[in-house]
Chain A
Amino acid sequence: MNDPLKRLVDEATPSTTAPFDGVVARARTRRRRRRIGTTVAGIAAVAAVSTGVVWMTDDGAAPTTPSVAVDPTTATSSPTGTPTTPPGPPDWNGKGAPPIFVHTDDGQTRVKPWTYCYGGTCADGMPMAPFATAPDGTVAQFSFPFTDWEFEATFTRMSEADDGCARVLSVPVEHQGGHVYAVPAAGDPGTYRVDVFGRAPQGGDVMASFEWTTTEAGIFPEPFAQVSAHYTGLELGVRDLADVAKATAEVTVTYPDRAPEHFGPIKGSPCAGAVWFTSREQYDDVEPTPPVDFRVVLTLDGVEYVGTARWPRDEIKDNEPSAVLTFEPELPAWTG
């Protein structure tokens, strides 16, 4: 399946590249622009505050499009993000994907999801700066039109947003009753982009982002490992590990009706506590007969950890057919 695509990429690969000097010149220009941009942004921020207008992009529109509705009448918040009066349903007309309403010192900031599947329509996008900002604190709150959705929040340091190897932390969001949901701080204190991912019980999801500076250390997620071996070949992923430099994995998959398969040793590239392993040696579009047993020997910086999982018993909801692995000894956790 890969060959025609690889051929296409090969054909599009140029025989030469532009001289590196041009790249260096580009870097210098970018630095100059950034210096100028910082000055202009400072002036613009002062102007925005003085006119009471918040500018941001939450729907992929041009960054200068004003698209945030700040509603001071819906709720009031303390500087730590705790509402002094419980807000009712947020002001949403039911059209399009349901937005989240980030609680701010001034009320609520409406943030449209950049990825969603809702009402028979799916749209995929990317988070785009500038973001709505939640007040500094240890809990950030948002309101949502529905009261029965489940949310998860993923934290990425704003300073590492362009970093291909940024550490990301995912924590569950607490439903505080009514239309209010609370995001707890995660990791060390700092300024993060928080991606909120919500799922409806009857199907449907939204993903929206805001910026938040946490003032105290928060939750450090436990290491998590998952494995699957059909549809896309072998995939093994581990995240929220302590920093590791070298990682290898050997995986044995045992089936009830055919010979076991062995993968590896496969070398992984650890990156900010996450490491993925993949093998396309086997590629099976047919769902295997259950139960399928996985045994993973993961070696992190010379230390062996043995993980096991049984599919479908350990299948991860909404991430089928991946199964969660249990390790002995426990995987090394990141503590900041």
Chain B
Amino acid sequence: MDVEHEVSEVYARAGRPLIGLLTVMGGSSADAEEVAQDAVVRLLENWSKVRHYEDVEGWLRTVAVRLLISRQRCHSVARLGLPRLAARTVTETPAPDPDGLDLREALAALPLEQRAVLLLHHVHDLPVSEVAAMLRVAEGTVKSRLSRARAALAPRLNEGSTR
């Protein structure tokens, strides 16, 4: 199989969930799709090495999350993200349920870095140490971000929780 074919299979398998994660993390499905494609471009460029990794999709997710954060910081979007996200959420996500919208707005009110650790830790089940390595920050930083994010979202996260 050639490189493009192999990477296209990864893209077909991992692309949609990655865009979902990036959309919630960054607040824009359009940006999420663009960042996901940029990450796949990096995958194409590094395929000879990455193809031997046990967790290729984890590599792709790491690169995509770093690109998203880097992009948002570069463009100072993080500061403007809240109103953008609130404005876009309703139109970009099909038929959100009222509870979900409430959580989405609360999530949008968090700084991007807190959203990132929350989603990576709780949705993708990545341990604190791995999130720290992925974001290149100290573990203590991840823990404090998680703690702040949980405190802010606690009432909404507990709604419908199975734990």
Residues of A at the B interface (CB closer than 8 Å) are 1-18, 20, 22-24, 26-27, 30, 60, 62-63, 115, 122, 124-128, 156, 162-165, 168, 195, 197, 205, 207, 226, 232, 235-237, 245-246, 269-271, 274, 276-278, 280, 283, 318-319, 322
Interface check B83, CB cutoff 8 A: no
- B102-120 contacts to A, CB under 8 A, are 103-104, 107, 111, 113, 118-119
Given known A-B contacts A12-B93, A164-B58, A283-B163, A30 and B41 have beta carbons under 8 A apart? yes
Which of under 10, 10 to 19, 20 to 34, or 35 or more describes the interface residues of B? 35 or more
Is A278 a contact partner of B127 (Cβ separation < 8 A)?
Answer: yes
Given known A-B contacts A126-B69, A232-B121, A276-B130, A1 and B163 have beta carbons under 8 A apart? yes
Question: What 1/0 flags go to B117-131 for Cβ under 8 Å of A?
Answer: 011011101111110
Given known A-B contacts A13-B19, A13-B20, A4 and B145 have beta carbons under 8 A apart? no
Is B96 a contact partner of A13 (Cβ separation < 8 A)?
Answer: no
Question: What 1/0 flags go to B42-54 for Cβ under 8 Å of A?
Answer: 1011100110011
- Pick the residue among A1, A18, A319 that contacts B37 (CB under 8 A): A18
Is A23 a contact partner of B19 (Cβ separation < 8 A)?
Answer: no
A192–chain B nearest beta-carbon distance, Å: 13
Question: Hey, which chain A residues are within 8 Å of B113, CB to CB?
Answer: 124-125
Given known A-B contacts A23-B41, A269-B58, A277-B127, A18 and B33 have beta carbons under 8 A apart? yes
Is B138 a contact partner of A26 (Cβ separation < 8 A)?
Answer: no
Cα–Cα distance between A274 and B131 once the two chains are bound (Å): 13
The 8 nearest A-B residue pairs measured at CB: A13-B20, A164-B62, A164-B59, A237-B129, A12-B23, A269-B55, A278-B127, A17-B15
Cα–Cα distance between A269 and B41 once the two chains are bound (Å): 23
Cα–Cα distance between A278 and B54 once the two chains are bound (Å): 17
Question: Hey, which chain B residues are within 8 Å of A127, CB to CB?
Answer: 136
Given known A-B contacts A4-B159, A23-B44, A162-B63, A126 and B93 have beta carbons under 8 A apart? no
Question: Hey, which chain A residues are within 8 Å of B128, CB to CB?
Answer: 232, 235
Is A7 a contact partner of B21 (Cβ separation < 8 A)?
Answer: no
Interface check B60, CB cutoff 8 A: yes
Cα–Cα distance between A124 and B115 once the two chains are bound (Å): 12
Is B161 a contact partner of A62 (Cβ separation < 8 A)?
Answer: no
Cα–Cα distance between A122 and B135 once the two chains are bound (Å): 17
Given known A-B contacts A232-B121, A274-B133, A280-B125, A27 and B44 have beta carbons under 8 A apart? yes
Given known A-B contacts A162-B63, A269-B58, A8 and B104 have beta carbons under 8 A apart? yes
